């Protein structure tokens, strides 16, 4: 596995994530499509928030199971917290916010979140 760093635009929110960056998910739900997310899921233990916890604004909608976390200063949502199907904590990383990762070089899988 590789360690990636990432965060919001202004630099208040910074994190690192250990993962193999395989295909990433583009979801067409009402929220993801507006924000233009490319998402990658990791178990919460592979994600470490380095700074910015106090600067995060939480937004939940629909089932309210996912905490969408936006930087209060620059408005960028660089990650979200949720659960896997088995209830274990997971983090959804916005791949567009990872340092040095070219989203156009990744395989993108469409996810039909709109139908859920």
According to CB under 5 A, which residues from 59 to 88 bind Zn ion? Answer: 71, 73-74
Min dist. Cβ of residue 76 to Zn ion (A): 6
Cβ-based nearer residue to Zn ion, 46 or 73:
73
Rg of the Cα trace of the chain?
A: 13
Sheet with 24-27: list strands edge to edge.
56-59, 67-71, 79-83, 89-94, 39-43, 24-27, 108-111
Cβ-based nearer residue to Zn ion, 10 or 29:
10
CA–CA separation, 115 and 100 (whole Å): 33
**Residue 103 DSSP SS3:** helix
Cβ-based nearer residue to Zn ion, 5 or 73:
73
Judged by CB under 5 A, how many residues of this single chain contact Zn ion? 6
- Scanning 6-14, 37-45, 57-65, 99-107 for contacts with Zn ion by CB under 5 A, the matching segment is 6-14
For residue 98, the cross-strand partners are 6
Min dist. Cβ of residue 88 to Zn ion (A): 28
108-111 and 24-27 beta bridge pairing = parallel
Question: Residue 76 in contact with residue 9, Cβ under 8 Å?
Answer: yes
Cβ-based nearer residue to Zn ion, 72 or 106:
72
Residues near Zn ion (CB under 5 A) are 8, 10, 12, 71, 73-74
């Amino acid at each position: 596995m590789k360690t990636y760093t990432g965060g919001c635009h202004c630099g208040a929110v910074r994190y690192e994530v250990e993962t193999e960056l395989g295909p990433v998910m583009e979801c067409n739900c009402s929220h993801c499509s507006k924000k233009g997310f490319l998402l990658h899921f990791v178990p919460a233990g592979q994600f470490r928030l380095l700074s910015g916890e106090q600067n995060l604004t939480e937004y939940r909608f629909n089932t309210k199971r996912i905490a969408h976390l936006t930087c209060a200063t620059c408005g960028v949502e660089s990650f979200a917290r949720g659960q896997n199907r088995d209830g274990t904590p997971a983090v959804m990383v916005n791949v567009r916010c990872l340092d040095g990762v070219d989203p156009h070089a990744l395989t993108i899988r469409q996810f039909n979140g709109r139908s859920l």
